[in-house]
Structure 1
Amino acid sequence: MEARMKRILSLAFLLCSAGQAQDHPLTLDTHVDIPLSYMQDPKFDAGQDGVLKVDLPKMRRGGLDAAFFVIYVEQGPLTRAGYAKAVAQAKRKYDAIDLMVQRYPEQISLARTPGDVRANKTAGRLSAMIGIENAYSLGHDLKRLDVAYARGARYVGLVHVGNNDLCGSSLPRKELGDAPDSNLGLSEFGRAVVRRANALGMMVDVSHASDACVRDVLALSRAPIIASHSSSRAMTDHPRNLPDDLLAAIAAKGGVVQAVAYKEFLKKDPERAAAEKALQARVAKAAGDKDYDSEKHDYLPSYVEGMKAIQRDHPLATLDDFLDHIEHMVKVAGIDHVGIASDFDGGGEITGWMDASQTRNVTAGLKRRGFSDDDIAKLWSGNLLRVWAADEAASTQQNPMPVGQRREAWNDTHLYGYG
């Protein structure tokens, strides 16, 4: 009876939402993180209005139509054991996204093409897309890129924090043996991944990559590329942001850079960063843990109250700070080559856009800055969907692995596993 009632309520909600489907431009967020226990731990059930910054009720309230949910793994050692762990963690996240759309089919669907996103918008249904953050999760096996595509991944972020087997990171990690100024370009494996992504019609994402890697990708890729969540280095001098010359270069090849609402990329505040690090250490120690674990500790009352105190003493970057970055990036790259990302549930949050329920604030802010409705539609989704379609058109092999085979592929220990 309870399951039947949930289905009735979901259908009623969908019918109501369909009538409102055109009350705002198609809004698409290119970077939303998910925890490792997504959809398994009840507090991380996306169908509930809970602790996540992006869940289905918040998306509805805020008018966020579509989001790329991210297959992120932390960078580890380039060893058999390291690769095996990354592959296993990635599989858990693919399975979790599958579970979300299976559990709430009337509310959200997996979108594999730009057309799917638009059709879902028309029907009043939310869209879930999949992006890869840190291709370390490929386990140094090119065949896994085909598996990722079959499971729905439509962009591949080459690297995260720390150099990997594909290319250099904008933030090398000393504990992994990286030189702080390494600025490495693409490796041979990285080049193979870019070529294969082009063949599949999968967008190549250079957020987190070193400047040298970005230049190598621009030279190699025969399709437009994206930066799924990077803001302007000219506005805030942070290695994760892109300098003007690379913004312009990505635009010149038809790509798009998604400005990101991540506090440290919009406002330099070393005192806040130090306070957060100290809080994390205290909370982890009080919980009896050696190291801080965001998934475990961020939701403890001591952490929540500690963050409120930090916010009072060291306020976050604001929506206006974010809009300043967007305006500058548009001046450099052009209105057709800038988009919007939150990095919600991965550290993204700014005063005025703290979670998906406040998404309309961004649209209102853009209007106050003088952007036209057409320009706002481009920033929210039009530019990204254009690049996605261009990458599909440039591909040489569509649907390389039938969808029905994707689970079997992940469980094939000879091809995809480590036994």
Structure 2
Amino acid sequence: MADLQDELHATTEVGELEGRAAWPEAEQLPPGTAEPDADADPLQRAHAFLAGHPVADGYSGLPWALRHLPWFDLELGESAVDTDIPRMREGHVGALFWSLHLPEGLAGDRAVGATIEQLDLVKTVVRAHPEGLRMAYGAAEITDARNCGRVAVMLGPAGAAAVGDSMGILRSLRTLGLRVLTLSGASWASGTGLTRFGEEMLREMNRIGVLADLSGASDATISRVFAVTKAPVLFTRSAARALRPHPANLPDDVLRELGAAKGLCLVPLTAEQTGPSVRDVADHLDHVRALAGAECVGVSGTYDSGAAHPQDLADASCYPHLIAELLSRGWSESDLALLTWGNVQRMLRGADFTARAAQQRREPSAAKIADLDG
């Protein structure tokens, strides 16, 4: 990944992006929270740990699931979905990325319009549940929501079709709150890699603070994004291909490259990608941590996406079971704090820092796909 310091002299914020000491919220319990008892059973220790270091869940399919319900109340609990406020509280979920992905087949203006409808639905749902949910658009707002006892709701990822091959639509979606865009499926990010327009789209994403999601992208696209981007890169739903040969999972060489670039791999809690048990998920987390580093691994519940989930991880209340398994394997609390909370914060802060640097040297792009790829 291109070095930020090629673009801007170091400031105190650069240091904030470099090490764990920059994330006191990932190392210290909030006032009044008891330290986990080392002699307690792993599940009790997991609950105690998560009370101070909640989960930032990287992917939820809840918006599309709610769109098909005639009525719902997430505050009271909703049996028709995997995610509601009582279960998020039980699972110690502090932040949740709500996917704006659409069913296959939507393209062009229909995809743009449906994405905006999805985005509007998310904001409507959050407004209807003010005691449990709060919109957040960056790392500081996620922390504020957590400190107020609310689950922070972030917008994204959206599919590449959402931008309609338009820089203006990309910027408009960012203004509305979008933070993550999935590149797979775009004509400008195909099996042959990024086109000239795709590279310009990525630079514009860097300039406005939209993270590139590379889950499902081709090897050529992944390689070119690593070379071009100045912001951290993200895989919202990818596990280890060495353990399970799913096409969206990452080979070991990409995991090592991700670690060198200080990106983030969010391991999905799906039986198809990680296996049928919580132990299988933990195996993938172990593998990603070993190759990419503790600063480069997180989790995506992938709830309400239509996927089957491993045993003991059926819904958003089940994160303590996963943390208990990792505690029993000897994960340190500092590494767990990065996994659950700190790494997502780092990614968002890194994207915002890159955007501020880029805005000092670049005007908004007016590039059109017909001019660059025609």
Per the TM alignment, residue 123 of structure 1 is displaced from its structure 2 partner at its CA by 1.6
Residues 152-187 of structure 1, C-alpha deviations (whole Å, 9 max, x = no match): 11111112xxx432312xxxxxxxxxxxxxx33112
1:167 partnered with 2:189: yes
Residues 230 and 259 in structure 1, CA contact (< 8 A), matched pair in contact too: yes
- Is 1:190 the counterpart of 2:212? The answer is no
Question: What is the one-letter code of the residue matched to 1:52?
Answer: V
- Offset of 1:74 from its aligned partner? 3.0
Q: Compute the displacement of 1:321 (Å).
A: 0.3
2:43 aligns with: none
Q: Tell me the equivalent position of 2:302.
A: 343
1:25 paired to 2:73: no
Looking at structure 2, the residues matched to 58 and 324 of structure 1 have their Cα atoms a distance apart, in angstroms, of 25
**1:324 has 2:349 as partner:** no
2:113 pairs with 1:88: yes
Q: Aligned partners of 2:126 and 2:348: how far apart in 1? A: 22
Deviations 1:297-325 (A, max 9, x none): xxxxxxxxxxxxxxxxxxxx110000000
TM-aligned CA distance change 1:209 to 1:151, over 3 Å = same
Secondary structure in 1 matching 2:246: coil
Which deviations, in whole Å up to 9, do the C-alpha atoms of 1:204-256 show, x marking residues without a partner?
11111111111111011011111111000011111110111111112211211
In the alignment, what sits opposite 2:257? Answer: 249
Corresponding residue for residue 235 of structure 1? 243
The answer to whether 1:72 aligns with 2:101 is yes
1:35 Cα shift?
Answer: 4.6
Letter in 2 for 1:338: V
Find the residue that maps to 1:388 and give its secondary structure.
helix
CA–CA separation in structure 2 for the residues paired with 1:337 and 1:119: 24
Identify which of 105, 124, 130 aligns with 1:99: 124
Letter in 2 for 1:25: H
Residue 111 of structure 1: aligned partner: 136
Point out 4+ residue stretches in structure 1 off by more than 4 angstroms: 18-22
Q: Partners in 2 of 1:380 and 1:124 — Cα distance?
A: 17
Find out whether 1:36 has 2:64 as its counterpart: yes
The one-letter code sitting in structure 1 at the alignment partner of 2:117 is R
> What's the offset of the Cα at 1:40?
7.0
Question: Is structure 2 residue 171 aligned with structure 1 residue 146?
Answer: yes
- Give aligned-pair identity as a percent: 28
Partner SS for 1:245: helix
1:222-371 residue pairs with structure 2 within 5 A?
222-267=230-275, 317-346=276-305, 347=307, 349-371=309-331
Flag structure 1 segments of 5+ consecutive residues without an equivalent. 1-17, 169-182, 268-316, 399-419
Equivalenced residue count is 312
Give a deviation string over 1:32-66, Cα, whole Å, max 9, x none: 01353626734555333321111222111221111
Q: Which amino acid aligns with 1:116?
A: E
Aligned partners of 1:51 and 1:43: how far apart in 2?
10
User: Quick check: 1:259–1:341 contact (8 Å CA) kept in 2?
Assistant: yes
- Aligned CA RMSD, in angstroms, stands at 2.2
Matched position secondary structure for 2:317: helix
User: 2:23 maps to what in 1?
Assistant: none
Asked if structure 1 preserves the Cα contact closer than 8 Å seen for 2:63 and 2:98, the reply is no
Aligned to 1:210: 218
What does the per-residue CA deviation read over 1:347-400, in whole Å, with 9 as the maximum and x for residues that have no partner?
A: 1511111100112111111111111111111011211211210111111349xx
Q: How far is the alpha carbon of 1:201 from its aligned partner?
A: 1.6
The structure having more radius of gyration, on CA atoms, is: 1
Q: Which amino acid in structure 2 is aligned with residue 166 of structure 1?
A: W
Q: Aligned residue for 1:122?
A: 147
Match of 2:82 among 46, 53, 56: 53
Closer/same/farther in 2, CA of residues 212 and 58 from structure 1, 3 Å limit: same
Give the drift of 1:150. 1.3
Residues 266-324 of structure 1: per-residue CA shift (max 9 Å, x gap): 23xxxxxxxxxxxxxxxxxxxxxxxxxxxxxxxxxxxxxxxxxxxxxxxxx11000000
| SS of residue in 2 equivalent to 1:156 | strand
Matched, 1:201 2:209: yes
**How far 1:190 sits from its partner (Å)?**
2.2
Measured in 2, the distance between the counterparts of 1:43 and 1:356 equals: 20
What CA distance in whole angstroms lies between the structure 2 residues aligned with 1:217 and 1:351?
A: 35
Q: Report if the CA contact (8 A) 1:37-1:44 is conserved.
A: no
Q: Which has the higher contact order (CA 8 A, sep 6+)?
A: 2
User: How far apart, in 2, do the equivalents of 1:342 and 1:132 lie?
Assistant: 14
Instruction: Describe the shift of the 1:348–1:220 C-alpha distance in structure 2 as closer, same or farther (beyond 3 A).
Output: farther
Query: What SS does the corresponding residue of 1:258 show, helix, strand or coil?
Result: strand
Shift of residue 19 of structure 1?
A: 7.9
Contact 2:97 2:157 in 1 (8 A): no
Q: What TM-score do the two structures reach when normalised by structure 1? A: 0.70
Distance of 1:265 and 1:166 partners within structure 2: 26
Instruction: Tell me, yes or no, if the aligned pair for 2:63 and 2:122 is still in contact at 8 Å.
Output: no
* TM-score (norm: length of structure 2): 0.78
Closer, same or farther in 2 for the Cα pair 1:348/1:185, shift >3 Å? farther
